[in-house]
Amino acid sequence: MAIAATICPTLTIHSTPKNLSKNSDHVPAPKSVSLLEMCKDMKELCQVHSQFIKSGHINDKFTVSRILALSALSDFGNLHYSRLIFYHISKPNSFIWNTMIRGCVQHGSPEEAILMYIQLLQSPISPNELTFPSVLKVCSQLQALEEGKQVHAQVTKFGFGSDGFVQNSLIHMYSMCHENCEARTLFDKSVRPDIVSWTSMVCGYAKLGMIDSAFELFEQMPEKNSVSWDALIFECSRLGRVEMVDSLFQRMPRRTLNSWNSMLFCHANFGSVLMARSLFDKMLERNEFSWHTMISAYVDNGLLEQGHQLFGQMPCRDVVAWHLILSGYMKQGEAEIAQNLFYEMPERNVISWNTMVAGFVRNSRFEEALLLFQEMQKVSEVKPNNWTLLSILSACTSLGALDQGQWIHAYIERNHIRKDAILGTALIDMYSKCGAMGKAQQVFHESTDKDIGMWNAMISGLGHHGHGREAIELLSEMLESNVKPNAITFVGLLSACSHAGLVDEGLRHFSLMSEVYNINPGLEHYGCMVDLLSRAGFLFEAKDFIESLPLKPSIKMWGALLTACMSYSNLELGEYAAKQLMELDPEDSGNYVTLSNIYASKEQWAKVVEVREEMKKKGLKKTPGCSMFTVNGFSYKLLVGDRSHDQREKVYSMLEEMGKRLKEAGHVADPTHVHLRLNTREKEIELAYHSEKLALAFGLISTKPGTRICIFKNLRICGDCHSAIKHLSKIYNREIVVRDQSRFHCFKDGSCSCMEFW
């Protein structure tokens, strides 16, 4: 048993007494065992343990059991050290087994406690009345009902069913596992249920929301202590039963800090902030929970000034309080104040960084989120966790920052971070929305832990890239893998059919959704069907579908029809759809612009002027076309005809070269895509300065030949730009991805993934 020397090498070793046989199986416990009671930490325990090993007294069962008890159960204990001691003991007795099981529970290793109990059952030693309470406590913590029932059977088998302590543990286990009928049966059979049994039953009813039953049983209790009062008040508080909490609190013979905190929590979360503050001010004693509850109440109700003021009054501002204030300012969009507070923090942990990164993402300040994440990398004592990575992947997705997203993926692989289903889904979403569908598929196929969210992300990604057939095939694979589709699955699938023009398949799966999978269609599903019919040119069918819906049509439905009317030059139906939209959302300038463009395509200039005047009267402005391109971690936004960029001369020089090479390739600008009253030459100039062409010119001068270029546009790509970029992908031998407001276009070698259906 050289384990003490292994863990604590600087031990004081005494020589072995001459009259002691090294081979003795049992040595009387030495007087120096009293030294164990004086140990204050593991170092001292190791030293005393070492002396017993050297002297040979370690072979005494009483001595080794005392060392094990200190190592396993004391506040300074070490479970790893306890294991080493335990597995060096030959023929451990019941006390030693029980000590190890209790130690596992106490040190937060409930699964190991269960394994220890199984090993005990396989040993010559039988469990006793002190074994079962610890094992049942584990079942309660894990809510492992089936295992708890097995332990109950063993309690009966070994004859401890009438032991009061064991009975209490069984009642508590069944209550925590929401098996109140079993708990009540045991409770009613108890000869003398004590206060622990009564309290377990009361809490069991309360946890299931059966407050009236809990209260009735509470009133029947022959005696009540502060624990029972606190337990019922806490459960009522958790469920928001304000009146009952007030009544119980008033009746309490002696109010504890726990009862005050439960009252405070109840009023802060389910009552009024003013009442909560009144209670807070009356509290003679407060702990961290009291301060956190009151600050959180202010933050949740948007009263940041009062919350910040109270935060400043805390006698000891802990990291939780800092996080509450930081997240409060972020929720209110006050990112600068949150950032200033963040840098004032005396100590920052991973949650502090996560609060800031997630806050920037929530406020659409994605570049700042990326910069803060880069700063986080320099803090050696803080490592990003899965929540950090999820937030930063969301920022990469929104920015279209594929390079940074790939770096995050490499970081995950390099640091052997487990890609659970949530992280895997975030990676798939990032790659698909950054135009790298091949990478998204690679992550998907490499994942062994696929949940419904991951399947849905993949189906949705395929749909937005126009791969409708592949999305339908993936649904078949999903069913073969025994994963049941949900409502989100069909939103992705119907959208995929819409983007690929698969009308019959879309109609078929819309029917299967309710007939086979018992999923009732919602607004999003109906919206996908309107989009499907509209994109395919079935405009009147789409109108009839909208007007026959059992639900109130959404703005998106009429918007899909209006956009399709522009594509198919249907003025009559376009006017009708625009009228519906203007009634539903009179402040959306896009509806007026689309209607104006339909009039312009028919050269009804008087109507165009009329719509523009109406916009002017309402104070509405057209949203300018804007494209974004990311290079070397920096995102650049370019507007139509933008000349504000510091590399404008190079960009416009490249734009001129692009125009020349397009003409050489036989491309002719299509002036019908300019909805202004200009001559042909003026329309050609207007088309040349569209934001996606400017972004492409910038991409060509900023990246190496052959590099893939990804552009994000806030509006729908126009037909002329679509045709031009097809030619340019072949001219410059580049893969060019354009994500507009509705889908992806992957241009390569003179063709587009949309196959002209967009």
pLDDT in tens, 79-118: 999 898 888 888 899 999 999 999 999 998 999 999 999 9
Task: Quickly list DSSP for 459-485.
Answer: HHHHHHTT-HHHHHHHHHHHHHTTPPP
pLDDT given at position 62: 83
Distances from the Cα of 477 to the Cαs of 29, 356, 390, 446, 635, in angstroms?
Answer: 68, 39, 27, 15, 38
Name all contacts of 340-345 with Cβ < 8 Å and 24+ positions apart: 345/319
Question: Per-residue pLDDT for 647 more than 80?
Answer: no
CA atoms within 13 A on the CB side of 747: 24
pLDDT given at position 4: 43
8-state DSSP, 17:
P
Nearest CA to 459 out of 440, 439, 442 is that of 440
435-485 pLDDT, tens digit per residue, is: 889 999 999 999 988 999 999 999 999 998 889 999 999 999 999 999 999
8-state DSSP, 639:
E
Mean pLDDT of 262-266: 95
What is the average pLDDT score of the chain? 87
pTM of the model: 0.73
Mean pLDDT of 49-77: 83
pLDDT given at position 150: 94
Tokens coding 9: 């090498």
pLDDT given at position 17: 36
122-170 pLDDT, tens digit per residue, is: 999 999 999 999 999 999 888 899 999 999 999 999 999 888 889 889 9
Contact 598, 574 (CB under 8 A): yes
8-state DSSP, 549:
-
Higher pLDDT, 752 or 17: 752
Tokens coding 697: 């010119």
Burial class (CB in 10 A: 0-12, 13-18, 19+), 698: buried
Question: Per-residue pLDDT for 175 more than 90?
Answer: no
Higher pLDDT, 594 or 381: 594
358-413 pLDDT, tens digit per residue, is: 999 999 999 899 999 989 988 777 889 999 999 999 999 988 888 889 999 999 99
Would you place residue 18 in the very low, low, confident or very high pLDDT band (cuts 50, 70, 90)?
A: very low
Mean pLDDT of 589-599: 90
Tokens coding 256: 């504890």
492-526 pLDDT, tens digit per residue, is: 999 999 999 999 999 999 999 999 999 999 999 99
Sign of the torsion formed by the C-alpha atoms of 191, 195, 197 and 199: positive
pLDDT given at position 758: 67
8-state DSSP, 57:
G
The secondary element (H helix, E strand) that includes residue 545 is: helix 539-547
pLDDT given at position 489: 97
Would you place residue 7 in the very low, low, confident or very high pLDDT band (cuts 50, 70, 90)?
A: very low
Question: Which backbone phi and psi does 207 adopt, to 5 degrees?
Answer: -65, -30
User: 3-class DSSP state for residue 627?
Assistant: strand
Contacts of 524 (CB under 8 A, 6+ apart): 487, 491
Tokens coding 602: 């028919």
Residues facing 634 on adjacent strands: 631
pLDDT given at position 391: 95
Mean pLDDT of 345-358: 93
Distances from the Cα of 439 to the Cαs of 368, 424, 461, 492, in angstroms?
Answer: 26, 12, 11, 19
Contact 577, 530 (CB under 8 A): no
Would you place residue 6 in the very low, low, confident or very high pLDDT band (cuts 50, 70, 90)?
A: very low
Contact 623, 715 (CB under 8 A): yes
pLDDT given at position 31: 53
290-333 pLDDT, tens digit per residue, is: 999 999 999 999 999 999 999 999 998 999 999 999 999 999 99
How far apart are alpha carbons 251 and 261 in whole angstroms? 16
8-state DSSP, 750:
T
Determine what percent of the chain is predicted with pLDDT higher than 90.
53
User: 3-class DSSP state for residue 738?
Assistant: strand
Strands 744-748 and 751-752: antiparallel
pLDDT given at position 100: 93
pLDDT given at position 54: 79
Question: Per-residue pLDDT for 9 more than 50?
Answer: no
pLDDT given at position 42: 85
pLDDT given at position 203: 85
Mean pLDDT of 220-245: 90
Mean pLDDT of 541-560: 93
CA 396 to the chain's CA centroid:
16
Q: Tokens 């935060």 correspond to what residue?
A: 311
Mean pLDDT of 665-682: 77
Question: Which backbone phi and psi does 638 adopt, to 5 degrees?
Answer: -125, 130
User: 3-class DSSP state for residue 739?
Assistant: strand
Give the domain ranges of the chain: 384-449, 627-752
Distances from the Cα of 450 to the Cαs of 419, 479, 482, 557, 571, in angstroms?
Answer: 10, 13, 11, 33, 47
Question: Per-residue pLDDT for 644 more than 70?
Answer: yes
Burial class (CB in 10 A: 0-12, 13-18, 19+), 97: buried
Would you place residue 541 in the very low, low, confident or very high pLDDT band (cuts 50, 70, 90)?
A: very high
Question: Per-residue pLDDT for 551 more than 90?
Answer: no
Question: Which backbone phi and psi does 711 adopt, to 5 degrees?
Answer: -120, 140
